[in-house]
Amino acid sequence: MAMAVVDSMVFLFLLPVALFFNLAASQSTGYTNHTVGGSAGWFFNIKTQKASADYSAWAAKQTFNLGDTLVFNTNTNQTVIQTYNATTYKNCTADYASDDDTFQYQGGSNEFGKAMTITVSLTLEGQQYYFSDADDGSQCLNGMAFEIKVGHGIGLPPSLNQPPPPPYVEPPSTVEDAESPPITVVTSSPNGCVRSSAGLFFAVSVLVMLALHLV
């Protein structure tokens, strides 16, 4: 009887969750490649000190989800810094950033003006930031920066997913531990408050044990 009530409550709780995921899955059929800046790419004109696109406006029009990819069509005059740290983003430099929350994507060339395409997989939900820290931060301060919010979507594809954690192993416990009720501690305690809460604990324990015997 008690189990039946619990089961239907679990069901009532899970129903909207299941419906939500069903809806989310049917709305997105796959993962999206977002080409940063569209056809303008990820460029900065050093003479006019202007970014080739309004990246914040571009980002505001996109929906980003786990497993999507950002594609930066650019050259080695710009950098691609990804950070989860708003302070680093506002600072426009990765010089003071921690390795845990900030990553530089390399094109693999030290030569100026070499064409490169940098792809970044979105593997974490939530707010994240991109900027170019080239020219001592002046690129970033002049528009080479944008922030995005990554939603869950259909979740990560298996290729980007982490391996599952090892199975849970119960910590060792002795039979005495399981059998000695906390009430024995309380009878010697002069504190009435502790006694009454222990009494309540005992009553609840009895109810739980009764319920377990019923099923």
Ligand X SMILES: *[C@@H]1O[C@H](CO)[C@@H](O)[C@H](O)[C@H]1NC(C)=O
Q: How far is CA 43 from CA 37, 52, 117, 215, in A?
A: 9, 5, 12, 68
Are 101 and 88 spatial neighbours (Cβ–Cβ below 8 Å)? yes
Nearest to 21 by CA among 160, 123, 153, 158: 153
Assign 40 to helix, strand or coil.
helix
**Least distance (Å) between residue 183 CB and ligand X:** 46
Q: By CB under 6 A, how many residues form the interface with ligand X? A: 20
Instruction: Check binding of 124 to ligand X (CB under 6 A).
Output: no
Instruction: Check binding of 101 to ligand X (CB under 6 A).
Output: yes
Instruction: Check binding of 147 to ligand X (CB under 6 A).
Output: no
Instruction: Check binding of 35 to ligand X (CB under 6 A).
Output: no
Q: How far is CA 168 from CA 164, 165, 171, in A?
A: 11, 9, 9
Instruction: Check binding of 82 to ligand X (CB under 6 A).
Output: no
**Least distance (Å) between residue 71 CB and ligand X:** 7
Are 132 and 139 spatial neighbours (Cβ–Cβ below 8 Å)? yes
Instruction: Check binding of 70 to ligand X (CB under 6 A).
Output: no
188 vs 203: CA distance, rounded Å: 19
Instruction: Check binding of 137 to ligand X (CB under 6 A).
Output: yes
Instruction: Check binding of 93 to ligand X (CB under 6 A).
Output: yes
Instruction: Check binding of 77 to ligand X (CB under 6 A).
Output: yes
Q: Which residues bind ligand X (CB under 6 A)?
A: 30-33, 46, 69, 75, 77, 85, 87-88, 91-93, 96-97, 101, 112-113, 137
